[in-house]
Chain A
Amino acid sequence: MFGYLVNRILLMIPTLLGVAVLIFFMLRVVPGDIVEVKLRGDGGMVTQETIDAERARLGLDRPLAVQFRDWMVGLVTFDLGTSMWTDRPVMEEIGLRLELTMQVAIMATIFAVLIAIPLGTISALFKDTWIDYAVRLITIAGLAVPSFWLGMIIILGLLYWFNWLPPITYTPIYVDPLANISQLIWPALAVGYRYSAVVARMVRSSIVEVMKEDYIRTARAKGVYEKLVVARHAMRNALLPAITVIGLEFAFLIGGLVVTEQVFNLNGIGKLFVQAVSRNDFTLIQAIVMLIAVVFIVTNLVVDLLYALFDPRIRLGGK
């Protein structure tokens, strides 16, 4: 197990290196840079010399190889540089928003798991009955409705029926739990609905498959209670694909809540990412991409470890 972990962590290095190289060069292929946006984006009348001076200050005038070397050295030393827009360390910019984004992602995941596993199980056990049809209708709607649209409907509903809106600025949960929850519960629900639909469908199809397996028939033949058959024998195996989906969806939420964050005016990583891209803030974009890559890789690792926990046949790194 320890050897497997070390192996996987070492494998992260070439993956992250590949991401770092790709994002560095892809950004520089796109025409335009941050200096034009910063100094001329609002109609400022500046000379070419001013543009050049700012490019020099930001190091954009240096040869690409030198810029790349600095980026690599920064990565190795965990110094990802300063935002070209705000002149603040990118880690500070990300840190300011990561707490909110992580909380929404965790709340949405909890919501999705709590809803999806019972819903998917019930749907599978009552396959082709009206219960199954109702659950499938709810889950298909969840897949079809974009989260941001649901978010807009939630906001308009709160405004119309209760003349109340969630807070528009973030308060950490340790400062004021009520204010925090009253702001973040709504985006978590909006995102969690789609999330739960994806997971519920996966749970349903897995359980339907598992329930046909020989060991389920054997358990029943031994006289095991049906509830125990489902809980102990079916669920344990059926949850494996669901864990993969839950992991991937969680990783997606870290950088993928772009529109939902704007609808709820959340100062999160998704909004920061969009702003960084629209401004061509190279250092910030690179840092956020690396963060998302790390989240995906770590989540995949955690999913693989959970596989071993749920399925005794899997012995990670074993001989």
Chain B
Amino acid sequence: MNKVMDPAMARIFAAMQLVPKIDLRALPTAEARQTFIAQQVPWAWCPHPLKEIRNLTIPGPAGPMRGRLYLPEGGDARPVVVFAHGGGWTFGDIDTIETPDPLTVVFKMKNPNPAMLEHFASPWNWVYAAKDLAANANAPRTAINGTGPFRLGEHVRGSHITGTRNDKYFRQGRPYLDGFRGVFMTQPAAMMNALQGGQVMAEFRGISPAERDRLVQVMGDRIRIEESSWTLNLMVVFNTEKKPFDDVRVRRALHLAIDRRAGAQGLARTATLRDPGGLVRPGSPFAMKDEDLLKVPGFGRDIAAARAEARKLLREAGVPNLTFVLHNRNLAQPYTPAGIFLVDQWRQIGVNVEHRQSETSPYLAGMSSGNFDVAIDFSNLFMDEPSLALAKYLSFNKAPENRSRAIDAEMDRLYAAQSRERDFQKRFDLIRQFEKRAFDQAYQVPMLWWHRIVPTHKVVMGWQMSPSHNLGQDLADVWLNT
């Protein structure tokens, strides 16, 4: 038999060897499905254009069998891959996808998944026409596609992008604007000057409090400032594979020593940080209520008592004079002020911390390889969906983005349970149980949630502020009151 393997297939097999060996049969069904879904991501990385997906019924000796035909673009003279398995059970929440007419897609679910609709709206996923993928399989990396309110005019990399009104936009009468011009600016000071000088009319991602104050002072009533809590969160992560951070008492001590209430007031003046909160964004439907949060150790107002408890825990753990390096990202907002704040907080319980900031690449390399003691990590959520927000707290063998590298089957079980629960109150309670476990074990704990400040010129009308900078950017409803 010829054993020559296609180079692409060889790379896939090589990658498969690196996948943690998890016996899916040994896991509860719901948990196994979650694991399976996570494992599917790499194979969806660069979808090959498909001409057709057809469900088949194949006659068999013991009766008809179900099958599915994947027919690629590019003619029929193609090699054939036959993939068969003996049945049993299958994973993934989507059972079948059908397109009964050109305007309808029917997803049939195997399991209830309350986050499914939100996942369809994820800004990280793109819809590409089959004909475009057939013409260029690399299209998702290099081409812009869609049915948005504007057509791509010009994109000069590193400089600007322009869009012109899409007259065939599906919403009648929209967009209001004839076009837009987006300018790429890397220097906040240059952006502030451009805003002040009227060269740009809005900065939609978010600016710092100091920048807001400057604009208000100089521009007065010509500038509009909108503020919201942000679906971004800074967390303190303890490397549980390193001593003494494998000891829950040490982790809890460092968690308790952080005065988030005072930090929220002080940092809000200088940094894009504000709200103390649990694992789900404060103010969102599944968030812990503030009166409940105040009762959680580490989030209350009695910081003296919390720090006394922290010192006691460190003594019990045998590290009363703990020293470590805080691994942080070298970005002015909000990482630097957050790092300085934490160093000060831990100094107050006798802990000596070296604050070491790195550029993004070595910072991420350190996080991925586990080459750190304690780190400031972040989560960037595109929406308020608990299954998204809590995923970072899943066990490390399921979620590599859990930088604490902790394995906790109980948290995995609670995560799976909430992800299937359709009843709001029951899901809310399950999330509280998950949160309690997270705070008790303190593998990684939220520090403060970010605060979004968006300046727009007063003439810019119709734009809606949202807690996510990844959403609401299509400008379809924006108009100028000049």
Question: Which of A's residues lie within 8 Å of B, judged by CB?
Answer: 30-34, 36-37, 40-50, 52-54, 56-57, 61, 86-88, 93, 96-97, 152, 155-156, 159, 163-165, 167-170, 262-265, 267, 271-272, 275, 277-280
Contact = CB atoms under 8 A, between A and B. Distances in A.
Contacts of B380: 42-44
Give the residue among B16, B368, B392 with the most A Cβ atoms within 10 A. B368
B190 A87 contact: no
Contact of A170 (B14, B159, B189, B232): B159
Contacts of A43: 232, 378-381
B4 interface: no
A179 B444 CA distance: 52
Given A165-B193, A168-B199, A31 B45 contact: no
Contact of B18 (A32, A40, A48, A262): A48
A49 B15 contact: yes
Contacts of B14: 56, 61
A271 B181 CA distance: 21
Contacts of B11: 53, 56, 61
Given A44-B124, A52-B18, 9 more contacts: A46-B41, A46-B401, A47-B39, A56-B14, A152-B189, A155-B193, A265-B186, A265-B190, A278-B359
Contacts of B190: 168, 262-265
A156 B232 CA distance: 33
Contacts of A48: 18-19, 400
Contacts of B141: 87
Give the residue among B185, B190, B200, B371 with the most A Cβ atoms within 10 A. B190
Contacts, number: 141
Contacts of B184: 267
19 contacts: A30-B362, A36-B361, A36-B365, A40-B401, A41-B364, A43-B378, A43-B380, A45-B391, A45-B401, A47-B38, A49-B18, A53-B15, A53-B42, A57-B46, A96-B156, A167-B199, A168-B200, A262-B190, A280-B361
Contacts of A45: 391-392, 399, 401
B194 interface: yes
A278 B371 CA distance: 20
B189 A263 contact: yes
B144 to A, nearest CB: 14
A40 B401 CA distance: 9
Given A52-B15, A168-B199, A265-B190, A47 B400 contact: yes
B187 A263 contact: yes
A40 B141 CA distance: 16
A96 to B, nearest CB: 6
A37 B364 contact: yes
Interface in B21-80: 38-39, 41-42, 45-46
B138 interface: yes
Contact of A271 (B15, B42, B142, B186): B186
B36 to A, nearest CB: 12
A34 B5 CA distance: 29
A248 to B, nearest CB: 27
A152 B193 CA distance: 10
Nearest to A164: B197
B368 A49 contact: no
A132 B193 CA distance: 38
Interface string B93-125: 000000000000000000000000000000010
Interface residues of B, number: 56
Contact of A32 (B41, B124, B364, B399): B364
Contacts of B142: 87-88
Contact of A169 (B160, B362, B391): B160
Interface string B365-402: 11011010000001111000000000110000001110
Interface in B449-470: none
A50 B44 CA distance: 9
Contacts of A96: 156-158
Nearest to A46: B41
Contacts of A50: 41-42, 45
B164 interface: no
A27 B189 CA distance: 30
B360 A278 contact: yes
Give the residue among B39, B391, B400 with the most A Cβ atoms within 10 A. B400
Contact of B159 (A54, A169, A279): A169
Contacts of A263: 187, 189-190
Interface string B159-199: 11000000000000000000001011111011001101101
Contacts of B159: 169-170, 267
A265 B184 CA distance: 8
B194 A265 contact: yes
Contacts of B45: 50, 53-54
A259 to B, nearest CB: 8
Contacts of B200: 168
A229 to B, nearest CB: 49
Nearest to A56: B11
B183 A169 contact: yes
B295 to A, nearest CB: 29
Contacts of A279: 360-361
A56 B18 CA distance: 13
A50 B183 CA distance: 31
Contact of A265 (B187, B362, B368): B187
Given A49-B41, A49-B42, A265 B364 contact: no
A48 B194 CA distance: 41
B361 A267 contact: no
A42 B365 CA distance: 14
A165 B124 contact: no
B197 A37 contact: no
Minimum-distance CB pairs A-B, first 3: A43-B380, A32-B365, A49-B42
B194 A168 contact: yes
A45 B19 CA distance: 16
A265 B183 contact: yes
Nearest to A169: B160
Contacts of A32: 361-366
Interface in B387-431: 391-392, 399-401
A54 to B, nearest CB: 7
A280 B365 CA distance: 11
Nearest to B380: A43
Contacts of B18: 48-49, 52
A87 B138 contact: yes
Contacts of A36: 361, 364-365, 368
A53 B362 CA distance: 20
Contacts of A97: 158
A163 B160 CA distance: 23
A164 B158 CA distance: 23
Give the residue among A32, A36, A41, A96 with the most B Cβ atoms within 10 A. A32
Contacts of A277: 359
Contacts of B399: 45
B226 to A, nearest CB: 22
Nearest to B7: A56
Given A40-B401, A50-B42, A264-B190, A165 B199 contact: yes
Contacts of A56: 11, 14-15
Given A49-B19, A53-B42, A169-B159, A159 B197 contact: yes
